[in-house]
Structure 1
Amino acid sequence: MKRNIIVSLFLLWCAFAAAQVTEWSPDDRVIRSGRDDGRYLSSYGVVHSMLSNIKPECAFRPDMSRKEFGKWQKKVRKSMQEIMNFPKQPDNSPVPKRIHTVQRDGYRLEKWEYYPLPDCVSTFLVLIPDSLTKPLPAILCIPGSGGFKEELAGEPGVTTNLDNDYRNPKVTMARNFAKAGYIAVAVDNPAAGEAADLGQYGRGRNYNYDLVSRFLLEMGWSYLGYTAYLDMQVLEWMKSQSYIRRERIVISGFSLGTEPLMVLGVLDPSIYAFVYNDFLCQTQERALVMTVPDKNGTRTFPNSIRHLVPNFWHKFNFPDIVASLAPRPVILTEGGLDRDFDTIRRAYEISGYPSNVEMYHYPKFADPQMRKKIDKLPEGLSRDEFFDMVNVDAPDHYFKSELVIPWLKKHLE
């Protein structure tokens, strides 16, 4: 009898608790206060409002004179130096060392290791065309999320569960460049490929980026700051090689790799040109408009903490950074909003070299009539709705050598 009473009370409690739970409504897609004074009880509402009121210090202004534009570029560079927070490289670091060399069809493949931090060794691959008779232009190749340097070079991964796509010409960025007659240098992103922890054996390409990012953030750094610092050491090595034309070094980034590309481009004015193979967007706006809750009523952030750089939104958005690269040649291959492309176009007009920028949309949105013409995105978007509104065809996301290699030949030869 006593047992039955307890069970009955438990069931009543469950029914009561369930009655208190209400599902979120379509109105909850958009962040609203619900109070006459406009204040938010929800902490998410508070931080969302705070972000919406941030005006980046280094936002591009289309009415700048060329002189003002030059001063603005210096401001962007100083801000980037501050938030990237590079450590001082140890004076007694060993020089990079070549580990092995193998001959491939039409080029030589070398593997090198270098020592950018105490207790750290990192590696990169170099593809040198057999046609080398004098110093050649060189391209630093940075992979996207889940990618690694071996697949960029058309080589098997460091474990067998990374071997599934390394012969795909839509992936083999560095190999494609070497076949076209350029020196290609391929790197890993931190926590990926050869730089991954034990997860590379069981998780495959699903690397545990967030664990490394968390450690870096707790120490006052960031995943992007660490990535760009490592890539900068490889870039400096490239400049020191007699067979590389140091005044003709290009940075090529795919997807996630476009982020260190932008950092290197701002910090090193000697870089000659840039391949930006991803869609262009304003990251602050993306976080503000993707507010749709999931089925449990949880709003999710557009991306993971490996993209988190403290103070980034106070400084600039991606279009501002790309605009600051002018007048150096840049190609953008996967679209975005015409609004953001117009920012880049205007920067190159101010710099005096409007022909140094080329911009392409996904084939699905190549026809201007198929693109959304938007000045300000509305709140209340899901991820898929956001992609569609900014003219992104996610299944067609790959490294577009068919656009990039002819562009390189035009600017390098």
Structure 2
Amino acid sequence: MTIQGLNVGVIGGSIAGCAAATALSRAGCNVEVFERSSKGLTDRGSGIAIPGQLRADLMERGYLPRDFPNCEMKTRWWQFPDNTTQGRRLWTQATPAFANNWGNLWRALRRNVPTDNYHEGRRLSDFTETETGVVAQFHDGEARNFDLLIGADGYHSVVRSKMHPQAKPEYAGYVLWRGNYPEAEVDDKSLIDAIDTDFAWLTVPFEGGHGVLYMIPDLDGSNMPGHRRVNWAVYAPCPMAQQLNGIESVPPGAVEKAAFVEFQRLLNDDFPKAIRDLIAHTRHEDVSIQPIYDSVVDTYTSDRTLLIGDAGTMARPHTASGATKALEDALSLEDLAGTVDDLAELLARYDAQRCAQAKTLSQIGRRIGRAQVLETPDWGTMSSADFEDWHKAIMSGDTLYLYGETA
């Protein structure tokens, strides 16, 4: 079966789903996207990073407009609390990347999918592969026939759970606190001005975790100083006062007051004042908690089904590769679709390329989590040379763009 003219159903209308739809539409497929949310995808502007080469490729190939707003990142300052306002610099690490606003990235990709081909409020309940295609069953009772079904439905993937019923997400033992707010709300911008001069972002290591802070474009795309968003995240043990519901994140507005007090205590005890103040400015009701999980599968494809992005593999956020992985999956799909002779070859070559790479990425994330959260070193005693050796041990010969390597 040739690729051109295939009827493709994409389950999930987020970044992965829109990118996959664009890729296969360009290959001549008839693509429809089914998003379970009936209210449209919204986001308060969470920060995500992508490597520079991927950004350039997405613009060159028309996935993103050439004026798509980013905030460039070149260096990572590891700041240790030492009773000074900004802390003591332990290490300056090369980290070439571009920070993005999730909402802006999704909206840019969503515009590539025709409105008539993007269906909201459509939740997949089941699917069955046949000799001639795949039948997708939706919660509203409708059944649709496709030549190919793509699971782009994230870490809750119904498609993955049907393909790999034994593959269950594994809790890593800690959580990620998140928050962001408009830069215009900051009164003392001295630290922000300092990191701007070096295109830097901040990491504060402490026993049992670390926090990061960087600037991202605002929801309207503004990326000039004074008009961006302050974005931060802190890895730490789960607060005792917060009950987790499995893999589900605790959204803004649902974090227990007592848990937030625990978080404030952590900031007071382990963060330099200037960085603590920037994080603590976030209102309680705007803070979320993400439990960290791993999920890896042995294959991304079956006879008529394919996984993309987090639906395939969940890598820890340390790798800053959630969106990157999905976008690279999509570009791989487009490239392969232009060179293979039939669907079977497309699935086989895509699986060989993307599943193995995702497994490596997951392993990197586990090593970073162990070294930077679960088994942290005596940070204050480390020299720059110690950090370099420590970093090499974590990477174990693998490469990752956020650690000064080409993705």
Report the TM-score when normalising by structure 1: 0.21
Report the TM-score when normalising by structure 2: 0.21
Structure with the higher helix share, 1 or 2 = 1
Q: Which protein has the larger Cα radius of gyration, Structure 1 or Structure 2?
A: 1
Q: Which has the higher contact order (CA 8 A, sep 6+)?
A: 2
Structure with the higher strand share, 1 or 2 = 2
